[in-house]
Every structure is written in structure tokens, then in C-alpha cells.
Amino acid sequence: MKKKGKIIIVTGGKGRFAQTFKSIKSKYKFIFPSKKQLDITNKLKIINYLKKIKPYAVLHLAGLSRPMNIHNSNISKSINLNIVGTANVVTSCEKLKVKIIYMSTSYVYEGKRGNYKETDPVLPWNNYAWSKLGGECSVQMYKNSLILRACVTQKPFIHKEAFSNVNLNFIFHDEIVPIMIKLFSKKGIYNVGGKTQTVYQFAKKYNKKVKKKLSKGDFPLNPSINLSKIKKSLKDGI
């Protein structure tokens, strides 16, 4: 086993995103506990597992994401997993002086004018984003933390239609992971994503058959993010 300063526990270890970390070479040793080993709704289990592993950090990926409408149809589940569950992880990390790396979303921004910086006001436009911002609130109270407001999607792009009037910064899981790892020693909030473009422009590169679709209020038109801060950090060698 590598020295404890290199161990990172990944919550939500069976998820698609977490699986990407299993295939990447890194100076960190990633550990992927099962839900039985580390249940984010059970604070005692979290604390006991952290005491056993003694990690450098917890990469918090566990939670409820899709389908998006579940955050409307089952608000209690959304709150319990994304807000209360995250708060349990934060308070456990704080108790044992373990860093937390929290995967948030760029959807916490209002999505009207675009080019949002980390210092801009937040105003989530759907319940999923509200639940992620709720988690963020507890993470920001703990100074030994890193929040990544990411615009990430799964590979391949599976949808048959894509918005041609919505600007985003989509990036695939396997592309964002190396960037994230370079940031793990940092603290604070970072926007993370790819090039600003319409969803259709992004999708067309990977699915030639994808068709254009217009957002008519079901999705904000410009939730794009400003990546100046992360570009500077990467240029400076972190």
C-alpha cells in the first residue's frame, strides 16, 4: 500500500464516472468502497471507514443524478442523497481532517448570459442543480475542500437529438479525469469543461446522425462557463 498521503477514497465507486478512475495511471491510489462499506446516508459508517483507510482525500461522486425528472418526482431521495449525504461526508472528513473533493455541476449557474466565472452568483435552473448546490454549501463550510463545477457527459453521445441553440462546455468522462487529477492538490472552486459550443456542434463530432433540436424553455440557452481559472492553473503547473 502506498503512503496514506496518496490514497483517495471514491464514493459512488460502481458508477460510470468512478469506473474511469480505475483505468488511469496516477500518483494516487484510488479505493472504491461498495455502498455496504461506505453508505453516505450513514455517518457512523463513513467515519469508521475513513478511520480504517486513513486517506488523503475523499472524491465524492456518489449521489443521485439521472433521470433528471427524479429530482422532481422524488424530492426526498434527491435531498437525502445529494444534500444530506454530502453533508455527512463533509462532517466526517472534517472530524478526521481528511480533504474532500466534490463533484458539482455547471448547472448551478442561471444559464442566461453564459461565460460564468467561479465568483459569479449562482441560481440553479432545475432541482438536480439545486440538490448539487445544497451539497456545495456544506463543502464550502469546510476549508480543506475542492469543488469542481463540471460540464461532463457520458461517452458515446447517445441522444438522437441535440440542442442547436444551447451553448455548453461538454466534455467526456475519460477526458475530464486527467484534468481533475491535476487539480486534486488545490482548494476552492474550479469550473471544469471543454470548448464552448452548442450541444449539437459537440454531438455532431461523435454522432453524424444526430438531429438538431431547439430548446423552447426546457433548457437554458447559455449556461456556458469561463475556464480562465483552470487554464491558468494548468499553465502554471498547478
Statement: residue 1 has pLDDT above 60: no
- Mean pLDDT estimate for the chain: 93
Instruction: Yes or no: say if 58 and 98 are a contact pair by the CB < 8 Å rule.
Output: yes
The proportion of the chain whose per-residue pLDDT surpasses 90, expressed as a percent, equals 83
Instruction: Say whether pLDDT at 182 is over 90.
Output: yes
Give the model's confidence band at 237: pLDDT under 50 very low, under 70 low, under 90 confident, else very high.
low
Residue 167 is part of a domain; what is its CATH number? 3.40.50.720
- Asked whether 93 and 46 are in contact (CB, 8 A), the reply is no
For the segment 213-219, the average pLDDT, to the nearest whole number, is 89
Q: CA 137: distance to chain centroid? A: 14
- Total domain count for the chain? 1
Show the domain range for 144: 4-235
Q: How far apart are the C-alpha atoms of 41 and 223, rounded to whole Å?
A: 31
73-95: average pLDDT: 96
pLDDT of residue 4: 45
**Buried b / exposed e across 60-79, counting CB within 10 Å, b at 16+?**
bbbbbbeeeeebeeeeeebb
Could you report the per-residue pLDDT of 146-173, keeping only the tens digit for each?
A: 999 999 998 888 899 999 999 999 999 9
The contacts of residue 148 (CB under 8 Å, 6+ apart) are: 101, 102, 103, 104, 180, 183, 189, 190, 192
Give, to the nearest 10 degrees, the angle between helix 228-235 and helix 173-183: 60
Mean pLDDT on 193-214: 95
**pLDDT (tens digit per residue) in 85-136:** 999 999 999 999 999 999 999 999 999 999 999 999 999 999 999 999 999 9
Cell triple for 95: 472530524
Q: Which of 18-32, 61-75, 107-121 has the highest mean pLDDT?
A: 107-121
Mean pLDDT value of segment 39-62: 97
Higher pLDDT, 18 or 141: 141
Residues in CB range of 225: below 8 A, 6 or more apart: 106, 109, 115, 116, 117, 149, 151, 169, 191, 193, 196
Q: How many residues does the chain have?
A: 238
Region 172-190 average pLDDT = 95
